[in-house]
Structure 1
Amino acid sequence: MSNIFSFSGRIRRTEYAVTQVLVSFVGGVLFLIFSASLFAGESVATGMLIILFVPMLLLSWISLAAGAKRCHDRGNSGFFQLIPFYGLWMLFGDGDHGTNRYGADPKRRVSQADLLKASALRQVS
């Protein structure tokens, strides 16, 4: 798994999906903890809200970082993840073959353009 806090590079669909599932699960558990604290009283709920703010902020950062890297795999800016329903496109759409401006292909596939460059270099040598 790549650096989960970094917004640079590319990740595969599987890593993106697993990250989003784990973030959703942990976020759900934190929400249940906060919901349970509501029954204990207003002061407890306020304290839990303050305590859970940092983990929720970290989860949001991790989710946005994974989304940005998945957008990069598709050859787009990380801001594309802000488009409604683009997350489905990131989940089911294939990434760019070969290297793009955001880095090497995480599946280690070679694009036709890279093959043509390699063959041209061999012919020149």
Structure 2
Amino acid sequence: MFKAPLSFYGRIRRTEFALTQILYMITYFFVLVFENNKAVGSWIVIILLLPIYLLISQGAKRCHDLGRSGWWQLVPFYGLMMFFAAGDFGPNQYGDNPKGEGNADYDEFGYDFKTGKMMGAEGSEPSQALREIKPD
């Protein structure tokens, strides 16, 4: 969790997105508390720039998990969908599923990494071309 949080590439789960939102709210609360203190000054608002960048980047990655562009986070009430909707099953154009569900465990030649066997088109028997390469 929280691998490359300032990057706009990849996909994240709902949990990481929600934790980012909670951490931002905690940071914002402390900024509001210290902003009223005259000894600290008004420069403390600058501290919010990094968390806002973090929110935008994490929001873009959550949109990617839903199969949408990162610009969708600007749509009103789409943030609720980002909190509650399940991500795309398996890989999509933005990367593999962060939960690992539906990601291919075999390469383009049909070798299954979990079982150590060659996979066919239907998933159980190797195709004729693969049987010729590696007989059982």
TM-score norm. by structure 1 comes to 0.80
User: Gaps (5+ residues) in structure 2?
Assistant: 111-119, 131-136
1:10 counterpart letter in structure 2: R
Match status 1:15 vs 2:16? yes
Larger radius of gyration: 2
For 1:101 and 1:71, locate their aligned partners in 2 and report how far apart those are by CA, in whole Å: 12
Shift of residue 51, structure 1, vs aligned partner = 3.9
For 1:96 and 1:77, locate their aligned partners in 2 and report how far apart those are by CA, in whole Å: 13
1:28 alignment partner in structure 2: 29
For 2:66 and 2:23, locate their aligned partners in 1 and report how far apart those are by CA, in whole Å: 22
Q: Taking every aligned residue pair, what percent have the same amino acid on both sides?
A: 39
Residues 41-80 of structure 1 correspond to what in structure 2 (within 5 A)?
48-53=41-46, 55-80=47-72
Shift of residue 30, structure 1, vs aligned partner = 0.7
Shift of residue 27, structure 1, vs aligned partner = 1.3
Shift of residue 21, structure 1, vs aligned partner = 0.5
Root-mean-square deviation (CA, aligned residues, Å) is 2.2
2:117 alignment partner in structure 1: none
Shift of residue 50, structure 1, vs aligned partner = 2.5
2:7 alignment partner in structure 1: 6
| SS of equivalent to 1:28 | helix
Shift of residue 82, structure 1, vs aligned partner = 0.5
Is the contact between residue 34 and residue 44 of structure 2 (CA under 8 Å) also seen in structure 1? no
| SS of equivalent to 2:100 | coil
Is the contact between residue 31 and residue 44 of structure 2 (CA under 8 Å) also seen in structure 1? no
For 1:2 and 1:49, locate their aligned partners in 2 and report how far apart those are by CA, in whole Å: 32
Q: Which has the higher contact order (CA 8 A, sep 6+)?
A: 1
Match status 1:100 vs 2:92? yes
User: Gaps (5+ residues) in structure 1?
Assistant: none
Deviations 1:40-62 (A, max 9, x none): 3xxx5xx7323431x21101000
Query: In proportion to residue count, which structure has more helix?
Result: 1
Is the contact between residue 12 and residue 98 of structure 2 (CA under 8 Å) also seen in structure 1? yes
TM-score norm. by structure 2 comes to 0.74
Report the count of equivalent residues: 113
